[in-house]
A and B are shown apart, each in its own frame.
Chain A
Amino acid sequence: MSDFPITLIFPPQAHFTQPYMGLACLKAWLQEHGFDDVEQVDASVQSYDHFLSADYLRWAVRRAEARGDLEQLATKDELPFADMDTFRTAAEVAVSGHVLAERVEGAKAVLRGQDFFDPAKYVPAARTLFHSLRIVSAAWAPTKLTPHNFTMAYSIDRSNEVLAATRDEDQNPYLDYFRTELLPAIVKRNPRVLGMSIIYGSQLIPALTLGRLVKEALPDCHITAGGGFLAYIGEKILKAPALSESLDSIVFHEGEKPLEELCRAVREGTDFKHIASLGYFTKNDQGETVGIKNIGGHPISLNEAPMPDFDGTPFDSYFSPEVVLAYDVNRGCYYGECSFCTLPTVIGPGYRTRAAETIAGHVKAMREKYGFSNFNFITDCLPPGMIRELPEELISQGSDIKWWCDARVEPRAYTKQGAERLYESGCRKLLFGFETAVPRLLKLMKKGQTPKRTLEVANNCNDAGISVTFYAMVGFPSETREEARETLAMLQENAAGTIGPNGKSGPLREVSLQTFHVDEVAEVFRDPTTYGVELLPDPAADLQLYHDFNANAGMSQLEASEMFDEIMAGLRQSLPLFHEDTFFYFTQKSHYFLHLASGHSPDEFIEHCKRRGVARQDELARTASGDALLDLEVVPLTGTCAIPFSYAEVTRRLAHPLARAARPDFLTGTYIPDLELRAAEGIGPVPSNPQKKLVLAYSPGSTEFVELSKDGEAVLDALRDSGSYGKLLQALGQPGGPERERLDHFVLGLHRAGLLFVPEHQLTAL
């Protein structure tokens, strides 16, 4: 170990499908500039791996059940909105907690192995992990950890709440995790500088939790943090001196140069005054802690920057059978005009790029070094010249990779021939900013594109074999419901599998839909009048990034949220990839890409998924026709649990846009108190129904939650005890007439719901 160890950490919560690139870029740069002992830790994937383990889930069930929520709620005559989430969580723990603990390791193995490529194995495994995270969350309620988010009952836009969250032993799962799993290794290594990369709001509380623990354990270690999210709110953090409990400094925008200079200053004991793009806490003359932000620095010459160094990355920990390496082909956006977008600002001023020759050389070298041939090019968009040059270089250098990236609609570059060359170079998926079908809104957004040209580009790419995703937006200021429906109609008309007037199938495979948010860097924030928006200030929110607003025309934020549901419902009907639980592939972008990279065309992939549905329908048809009806058995490990309220009804009510708005938003992480009241009024309580005793069932094979009556549970028990439906009928003395018809009908219903199976069909095995 050197005399100047540096540790770089990607804190929870972030994606678990592929390694994060930023640390690898920083590690490579620091090593090239005199710091040879740089360790990188993906604490996000490691914590997911820890939480999603049999032992942890068993512990989580015990902790959640010890609260006795279900028993307490059972004494109520009606379930108010405020208790609905607690009820749902407690019911899920009771019925599925133990069985998920039995299944979770198998589910991870499916996602990490070749069974990943079998939809009959993948979908239940993915659902098992989703459901297991609900059990983890239940232990720390009302905290929620999902595959894409982490929220607590604390707002992340208030520094006092963030700080309180970092200390909350009851609700912050990372305090315990860091203390027992991560901190001992950090203390042993004793780094002189610890850097954290915070790119999502969901990482803020965990990162500051870790920072505080490390500062307590290693007072001489300098704790710094950077990353996209801090580019937005870093200055505000510097104005909240209490957060110096967790951080010593903040690196703004591009991290390489300021981090290098910071490490040098710490090593040499010099001050930080001249380190461009750095902010830091210090003491003023009165001995008070104050934050200082230095001037911004110049970006590095990206083409000269070294190849990202992923050494030490825990490749086996990711929940994917093959690693997709991330690589930054450029930084910033060459277009930079869109009035809603502030993404280019997070990586510093201006647009800079690596040369196509450099990119091709690097990815080839990375493929040879790490043995992975799948890449995610990190870019806001490729300029037209690069769209033409990059494929040529990748092909001529024999890069032999498959790749995907975000893209801007460039009709001159994404021609038929251009798209074909992209495909030949390994491009399998492109995500374009479509946003809306309405020309008036496109103009207001300053997108500089038309729907017609966007569809031309999409068709060219699709014809070449590249899977096309559109980013779309709902709720841009002044957008009306009719305009949003116009957008939905155009997306549906162009969905893959939908035959258009020209007799061809549409080009669109996926839509990544987002509701519009106003952030502080956006043009809409700077010039609200032009966009007909009145911003709603919240002076207590000292770390606020996203702002609520009233729109003078068009949909309100709540109406936009309702429209989000309407559009998603429409897309789930029209896009084959969104049908039923094939949708799980969409929720993990890399996972769908891996199927494309393995050699499936987008159409073949859909056919592959459909085969699972067809096999299921065949089985249902066989039992319905009476063929295999008597063979039906209860799926092993199926659990049941008495519930005082209808789980199905509570789930329906919690899906109401008002209810969703009252919970922490996935981007802002904020609770809005008056929305909680409005939701309670608008949604109303769920009454108990003592006459109809309800039971919740969970089948680990189909991973479905099913609501039955107490009578239904009795039949399910009898079925299980008898061994099969045929044997049950025998034991019942072969009832006939209407009784038999009712029983058949019920058993078929249980089969459709996934609680029964035909033993010869091993659809349920993970």
Chain B
Amino acid sequence: MNADSTNPENKSKDETKKPEDAPKKLDLQNLDLSVEKVEERISPSETNVFDK
């Protein structure tokens, strides 16, 4: 299944390629390997005091 079939930049892959296809070339010395988990936003509208 593709996240966006019209945009090659977007992808969602659950299919697994054969091991011999992997890996792509990785320049391990110069990779930018940052990871930022974005904090869940919970605004006042998610905590309506009158709600159930």
Asked whether A and B interact, the reply is yes
Residues of A participating in the B interface, judged by any CB pair closer than 8 Å = 14-15, 17-18, 65, 71, 94-99, 102, 127, 130, 146-149, 200, 324, 376, 471, 512-515, 564, 581, 583, 586-590, 636-642, 647-648, 651, 654-655, 660, 666, 692, 704-712, 714-715, 717-718, 720-723, 727-728, 731-732, 735, 739, 742-743, 745-746, 749-750, 752-754
Residues of B within 8 A of A65 (CB): 4, 6
A146 to B47, CA, bound (A): 11
Residues of A within 8 A of B41 (CB): 651, 654-655
- With A712-B31, A718-B23, A721-B22 already in contact, 20 other A-B pairs whose C-beta atoms are closer than 8 Å: A15-B51, A65-B6, A99-B1, A148-B51, A512-B47, A514-B44, A589-B51, A639-B3, A642-B9, A647-B38, A648-B38, A660-B43, A666-B44, A705-B37, A706-B38, A707-B35, A710-B32, A711-B31, A717-B13, A717-B24
A439 to B21, CA, bound (A): 71
Interface of B is mostly: loop
> Are B45 and A666 interface neighbours, CB within 8 A?
yes
> Are A17 and B7 interface neighbours, CB within 8 A?
no
> Are A742 and B28 interface neighbours, CB within 8 A?
yes
> Are B17 and A721 interface neighbours, CB within 8 A?
yes
B1, B16, B32, B44 — most chain A CB neighbours (10 Å):
B44
Q: A98-B3, A146-B45 are in contact. Are A637 and B12 (CB under 8 A)?
A: yes
Q: Whose C-beta in chain A lies nearest to the C-beta of B24?
A: A718
29 pairs from A and B in contact (CB 8 Å cutoff) = A14-B51, A15-B51, A15-B52, A98-B12, A130-B46, A148-B51, A324-B52, A514-B49, A639-B10, A641-B9, A641-B10, A651-B41, A660-B43, A704-B37, A704-B38, A708-B34, A715-B33, A718-B24, A718-B26, A721-B21, A721-B23, A731-B22, A735-B28, A742-B28, A742-B33, A743-B28, A749-B33, A753-B35, A753-B36
> Are A727 and B33 interface neighbours, CB within 8 A?
no
Residues of A within 8 A of B16 (CB): 720-721, 723
A655 to B29, CA, bound (A): 36
> Are B37 and A753 interface neighbours, CB within 8 A?
yes
**Residue of B9, B35, B44 touching A708 (CB-CB under 8 A):** B35
Q: Whose C-beta in chain A lies nearest to the C-beta of B37?
A: A753
4 interchain residue pairs of minimum CB distance: A639-B12, A666-B45, A721-B22, A749-B35
A666 to B46, CA, bound (A): 9
Q: Whose C-beta in chain B lies nearest to the C-beta of A699?
A: B37
Q: A148-B51, A727-B19 are in contact. Are A711 and B32 (CB under 8 A)?
A: yes
> Are B1 and A102 interface neighbours, CB within 8 A?
yes
Residues of B within 8 A of A742 (CB): 28, 31, 33
Q: Whose C-beta in chain B lies nearest to the C-beta of A572?
A: B42
Q: B6 → chain A, closest Cβ, in Å?
A: 7
> Are A660 and B1 interface neighbours, CB within 8 A?
no
A96 to B10, CA, bound (A): 10
> Are B14 and A637 interface neighbours, CB within 8 A?
yes
> Are A750 and B9 interface neighbours, CB within 8 A?
no
> Are B48 and A148 interface neighbours, CB within 8 A?
yes
> Are B33 and A640 interface neighbours, CB within 8 A?
no
Q: Whose C-beta in chain B lies nearest to the C-beta of A130?
A: B46
Q: Whose C-beta in chain B lies nearest to the C-beta of A691?
A: B32
Q: A758 → chain B, closest Cβ, in Å?
A: 17
> Are B9 and A636 interface neighbours, CB within 8 A?
no
> Are B4 and A94 interface neighbours, CB within 8 A?
yes
Q: A248 → chain B, closest Cβ, in Å?
A: 28
**Residue of B29, B32, B35, B46 touching A750 (CB-CB under 8 A):** B35
Q: How large is the interface on B (under 10, 10 to 19, 20 to 34, 35 or more residues)?
A: 35 or more
Residues of A within 8 A of B12 (CB): 98-99, 637-640
Residues of B within 8 A of A94 (CB): 3-4, 7, 10
A666 to B47, CA, bound (A): 9
**Residue of B2, B26, B34 touching A98 (CB-CB under 8 A):** B2
Q: A577 → chain B, closest Cβ, in Å?
A: 12
> Are A752 and B37 interface neighbours, CB within 8 A?
yes
A660 to B13, CA, bound (A): 35
Q: A656 → chain B, closest Cβ, in Å?
A: 11
A723 to B34, CA, bound (A): 22
Q: B28 → chain A, closest Cβ, in Å?
A: 4
Q: A639 → chain B, closest Cβ, in Å?
A: 3
A97, A731, A743 — most chain B CB neighbours (10 Å):
A731
Residues of B within 8 A of A586 (CB): 47
> Are A583 and B42 interface neighbours, CB within 8 A?
yes
> Are A641 and B3 interface neighbours, CB within 8 A?
yes
Q: A228 → chain B, closest Cβ, in Å?
A: 9
A704 to B3, CA, bound (A): 16
Q: A93 → chain B, closest Cβ, in Å?
A: 9
> Are B26 and A99 interface neighbours, CB within 8 A?
no
**Residue of A583, A731, A743 touching B19 (CB-CB under 8 A):** A731
Q: Whose C-beta in chain B lies nearest to the C-beta of A96?
A: B3
Q: A468 → chain B, closest Cβ, in Å?
A: 15
A438 to B28, CA, bound (A): 59
> Are B37 and A99 interface neighbours, CB within 8 A?
no
> Are A714 and B2 interface neighbours, CB within 8 A?
no
> Are B35 and A149 interface neighbours, CB within 8 A?
no
A742 to B31, CA, bound (A): 9
> Are B29 and A148 interface neighbours, CB within 8 A?
no
Q: A65-B6, A99-B12, A732-B26 are in contact. Are A637 and B1 (CB under 8 A)?
A: yes
Residues of B within 8 A of A324 (CB): 52
> Are B46 and A148 interface neighbours, CB within 8 A?
yes
A96 to B22, CA, bound (A): 25
Q: A743 → chain B, closest Cβ, in Å?
A: 7
Q: B36 → chain A, closest Cβ, in Å?
A: 4
Q: Whose C-beta in chain A lies nearest to the C-beta of B52?
A: A15
**Residue of A720, A735, A745 touching B33 (CB-CB under 8 A):** A745
A564 to B12, CA, bound (A): 38
Residues of A within 8 A of B32 (CB): 692, 709-712
> Are B1 and A98 interface neighbours, CB within 8 A?
yes
A720 to B16, CA, bound (A): 7
A655 to B38, CA, bound (A): 12
Residues of A within 8 A of B7 (CB): 71, 94, 641
Q: B49 → chain A, closest Cβ, in Å?
A: 4
Q: Whose C-beta in chain A lies nearest to the C-beta of B12?
A: A639
A708 to B38, CA, bound (A): 11
Residues of B within 8 A of A130 (CB): 46
**Residue of A514, A651, A745 touching B38 (CB-CB under 8 A):** A651
Q: Whose C-beta in chain A lies nearest to the C-beta of B34?
A: A709
Residues of B within 8 A of A149 (CB): 45, 48
Q: A94-B3, A732-B28 are in contact. Are A200 and B42 (CB under 8 A)?
A: no
Q: A221 → chain B, closest Cβ, in Å?
A: 30
Q: Whose C-beta in chain A lies nearest to the C-beta of B47?
A: A587
Residues of A within 8 A of B1 (CB): 98-99, 102, 637
Q: Whose C-beta in chain B lies nearest to the C-beta of A735?
A: B28
A71 to B49, CA, bound (A): 39
Q: A624 → chain B, closest Cβ, in Å?
A: 14
> Are B42 and A587 interface neighbours, CB within 8 A?
yes
Q: A639-B10, A706-B35 are in contact. Are A722 and B26 (CB under 8 A)?
A: no
